[in-house]
């Protein structure tokens, strides 16, 4: 019966699954979280919506959301986010007779460590939001931190686009946290390896990130991404107003053999900056 539903054999099979699911929460959650089920991307939100009440469906959907993020299935994660927010609003309007699986319980499920909870508590954006919105945001922010800490930038872009995660808000809050770059040299080398700039998709991903870094004026990331993209106009605008940054940048590129490929970019910037300095000095 479950197999028929997973194969997508129509409404009757799905209704059979809904009937089968009643009273078998543990079984259906296990099936729903299985690798095959998630990969096939059938209408899992329909299954969730038919489970035993709104609190249970929220709990199951949150577990599914975490599973899809772990599998990097970001379009499906986006569908689950929309489902969770919609059903959460409906839950808020319903009676409060399901305390054992209330949003407070679901929120507890999300925190994997006291350190993460402490970090999230610093955010003022959650204070006046309902519990289901906070729960979804916590899962998304934890995943964003995981990707940013590992500099999995292509996955980060796919995650943001798939779930409509607010990257600007996240970057503003994590400037000195998970989004911090320790230093320019190691950052440029690592991100160059991660993004593989020889492919069009990687360049598009880098461009997407650069636009967001510019929005929050995140200089360290702007310098790295603009260098990888060879955006001399962006770098010129930065260095023209920050001579100390230019000197540090040029010294770093000149002193590292791994960065010889940027020598032409460095020479172009030096010429443009010298030209402007001469004009302003007259």
Q: What is the mean pLDDT of the chain?
A: 78
In this prediction, residue 212 has a pLDDT band, given cuts at 50, 70 and 90, of: very high
In this prediction, residue 224 has a pLDDT band, given cuts at 50, 70 and 90, of: very high
Q: What is the pLDDT of residue 215?
A: 96
Average pLDDT, integer, range 238-262 = 94
To which residue do tokens 């993004």 refer?
Answer: 195
Cβ burial, residue 222 (10 Å; 0-12/13-18/19+): buried
Average pLDDT, integer, range 129-133 = 73
Average pLDDT, integer, range 39-52 = 55
Average pLDDT, integer, range 15-42 = 51
**DSSP H or E stretch at residue 6:** helix 2-6
Q: What is the pLDDT of residue 229?
A: 97
- Those residues with Cβ within 8 angstroms of residue 197's Cβ, 6 or more apart along the chain or in another chain: 203, 206, 228, 229
Cβ 68 vs Cβ 48: under 8 Å? no
Q: What is the pLDDT of residue 87?
A: 76
Give dist(CA 272, CA 252) in Å, integer: 19
Whether residue 2 has pLDDT greater than 50: no
Average pLDDT, integer, range 159-187 = 94
Average pLDDT, integer, range 228-252 = 95
Average pLDDT, integer, range 150-159 = 97
Cβ burial, residue 230 (10 Å; 0-12/13-18/19+): middle
Average pLDDT, integer, range 2-25 = 45
Q: What is the pLDDT of residue 111?
A: 44
Give dist(CA 94, CA 96) in Å, integer: 7
Q: What is the pLDDT of residue 133?
A: 85
In this prediction, residue 163 has a pLDDT band, given cuts at 50, 70 and 90, of: very high
């Amino acid at each position: 019966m479950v197999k028929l539903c997973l194969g997508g054999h129509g409404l009757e099979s799905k209704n059979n699954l809904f009937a089968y699911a009643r009273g078998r929460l543990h079984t259906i959650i296990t099936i729903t979280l299985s690798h095959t089920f998630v990969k096939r991307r059938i209408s899992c939100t329909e299954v969730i919506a038919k489970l035993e009440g709104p609190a249970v469906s929220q709990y199951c959907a949150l577990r599914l959301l975490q599973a899809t993020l772990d599998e990097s299935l970001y379009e499906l994660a986006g569908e689950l986010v929309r489902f969770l927010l919609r059903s959460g609003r409906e839950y808020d309007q319903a009676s409060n007779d399901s305390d054992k699986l209330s949003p407070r319980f679901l929120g507890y499920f999300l925190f994997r460590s006291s350190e993460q909870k402490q970090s999230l508590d610093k955010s003022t954006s959650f204070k006046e939001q309902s519990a289901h919105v906070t729960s979804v945001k916590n899962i998304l922010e934890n995943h964003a931190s995981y990707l940013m800490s590992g500099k999995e930038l292509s996955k980060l872009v796919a995650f943001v686009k798939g779930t409509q995660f607010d990257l600007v808000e996240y970057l503003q809050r994590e400037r000195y946290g998970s989004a911090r770059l320790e230093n320019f040299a190691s950052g440029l080398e690592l991100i160059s390896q991660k993004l593989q700039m020889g492919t069009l998709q990687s360049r598009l991903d880098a461009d997407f990130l650069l636009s967001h870094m510019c929005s929050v004026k995140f200089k360290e990331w702007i310098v790295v991404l603009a260098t990888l993209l060879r955006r001399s106009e962006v770098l010129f605008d930065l260095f023209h107003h920050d001579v100390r940054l230019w000197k540090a940048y040029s010294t770093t590129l000149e002193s590292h053999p791994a960065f010889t490929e940027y020598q032409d970019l460095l020479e172009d910037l030096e010429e443009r900056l010298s030209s402007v300095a001469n004009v302003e000095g007259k």
